[in-house]
A and B are shown apart, each in its own frame.
Chain A
């Protein structure tokens, strides 16, 4: 069965303190891995798609990487406006599976 596990569940950082969020997956036939950002009371907002191991994508302070077993979302020198829940989703041969998310809080 396809599975996606995100860690940690919650992460609190000081402004400027870099860190990484993890998305571990087991899937038959990876077709794509997606990262989303979700603000409270809103729908997820698309950030990145990664298709193959070794691929990297960057956007402002965020960088997503992919291996055969996991993906990392690196956040460099975060600001309070980066506070949100970050969701990972994996598209396998059968369907799309979402992780439970990491709730990121950046304190000023």
Chain B
């Protein structure tokens, strides 16, 4: 079955450490997205990519970085510059048409040690 796979499910970060969250999709979708979800808040867009080797900042990109070297993969790195990284991170994808619904992975929960 086609879908989006996020790993790991749980991740712990030490102070000063960069960590990378994996997102892989086999839906043949062009566009991929990273969101952050905090309790009581809507999903906030971190980065998105509409095509390989190209990506744009979302509303809260500071302290995060991404790459899009393959159509199927869109990893997110949470850098030490992100001072409040504890959150639930969701990866999503769509065909290039933005009017189609986004498909989501099952998320990675990141916590500070």
Contacts and interface: CB of A to CB of B under 8 A. Distances in A.
Interface of A: 4, 9, 31-32, 34, 36, 41-46, 49, 51, 87, 89, 91, 95-101
B99 A96 contact: no
Interface residues of B, number: 21
A105 B93 CA distance: 29
Given A31-B99, A42-B106, A43-B105, 15 more contacts: A31-B98, A32-B99, A36-B104, A41-B109, A43-B4, A43-B92, A43-B106, A43-B107, A44-B90, A46-B101, A49-B100, A51-B99, A87-B43, A89-B102, A96-B102
Contacts of A91: 98-99
Contacts of B90: 43-44
Contacts of B101: 32, 34, 46, 49
5 contacts: A41-B106, A43-B92, A43-B104, A98-B43, A100-B40
Interface of chain A, main secondary structure: strand
A100 B106 contact: no
B45 interface: yes
A9 B40 contact: yes
Interface in B78-112: 90, 92, 98-107, 109
A49 B94 CA distance: 14
A88 to B, nearest CB: 9
Contacts of A99: 42
B55 to A, nearest CB: 15
Contacts of A98: 35, 42-43
Task: Give the 4 A-B residue pairs with the shortest CB-CB distance, closest first.
Answer: A43-B104, A98-B42, A98-B43, A46-B101
A80 to B, nearest CB: 22
